[in-house]
């Protein structure tokens, strides 16, 4: 509160009491939504930091889940700070600390978003395999699944990857198509992770239509 004396000519002064109230965050379609953000072992994993930050700013509760390979590209602490939630990465450490178990997390989710999703991740999901925490959550959650693939263009075009994509699309999974451009491997072509703006807008559109 600030006391502001305002002169009133010969009649003296009156003090106006000005109160500054905290500005509430604007309500968005993501406010209160629980999103599990899966991050897999692609060079594009560093973009998960921006995705986490943007979704959190829009009011979503983001719970990052990283594969062991993803942790080689970006530190879990980065996503923990940006999401303000614990980062899960090891299926065998659930009993330690304060992070929720994978079944509890799977039950709470409104969306499982995997960005980036590697060819390995797509294969695990298509075949229903669960060797790690992220793929276990995938099998356990009733939430819709949204995938943003990122990989070498030749891997993307391979018949096995295309078959896995077809299987996942047939299950009703949502896809954020990769961009074309210069890839980390030095080749130019399809397979680049979609822009962060595109990913965030896709999530907003999904919740706006559900």
Q: What is the mean pLDDT of each run of 10 residues along the chain (210 residues)?
A: 46 44 68 98 96 98 97 96 94 59 88 98 98 95 98 94 98 95 64 96 96
Sequence spans of domains, the chain: 29-208
132-154 exposure pattern, b = at least 16 Cβ within 10 A, e = fewer: bbbbbbbebbebbbbbbbbbbbe
pTM: 0.84
Query: Which of the listed CATH numbers 3.40.50.1950, 3.40.50.2000, 3.40.630.10, 2.40.50.100 matches domain 29-208?
Result: 3.40.50.1950
> Which of 11, 71, 121, 185 does the annotation list as catalytic?
185
pLDDT for position 1: 46
pLDDT for position 187: 64
pLDDT for position 113: 98
Q: Is 199 exposed, middle or buried (0-12, 13-18, 19+ CB in 10 A)?
A: buried
Is residue 121 flagged as an active site residue?
A: no
């Amino acid at each position: 509160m600030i006391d502001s004396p305002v002169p009133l000519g010969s009649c003296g002064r009156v003090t106006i009491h000005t109160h500054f109230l905290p500005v509430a965050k604007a309500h968005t379609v993501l406010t209160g939504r629980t999103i599990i953000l899966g991050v897999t072992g692609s060079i594009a994993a560093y973009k998960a930091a921006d995705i986490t930050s943007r979704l959190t700013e829009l009011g979503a509760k983001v719970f990052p889940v990283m594969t062991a390979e993803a942790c080689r590209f970006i530190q879990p602490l980065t996503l923990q700070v940006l999401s303000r939630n614990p980062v899960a990465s090891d299926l065998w450490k659930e009993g330690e600390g304060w992070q929720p178990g994978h079944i509890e997390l799977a039950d709470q989710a409104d969306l499982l978003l995997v960005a980036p999703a590697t060819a390995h991740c797509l294969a695990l999901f298509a075949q229903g395999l669960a060797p790690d925490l992220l793929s276990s959550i995938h099998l356990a959650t009733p939430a819709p699944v949204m995938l943003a693939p990122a990989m070498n263009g030749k891997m993307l075009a391979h018949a096995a990857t295309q078959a896995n994509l077809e299987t996942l699309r047939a299950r009703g999974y949502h896809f954020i198509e990769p961009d074309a451009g210069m890839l980390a491997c030095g080749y130019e072509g399809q397979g680049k992770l979609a822009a962060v703006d595109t990913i965030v807008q896709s999530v907003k559109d999904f919740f706006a239509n559900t």
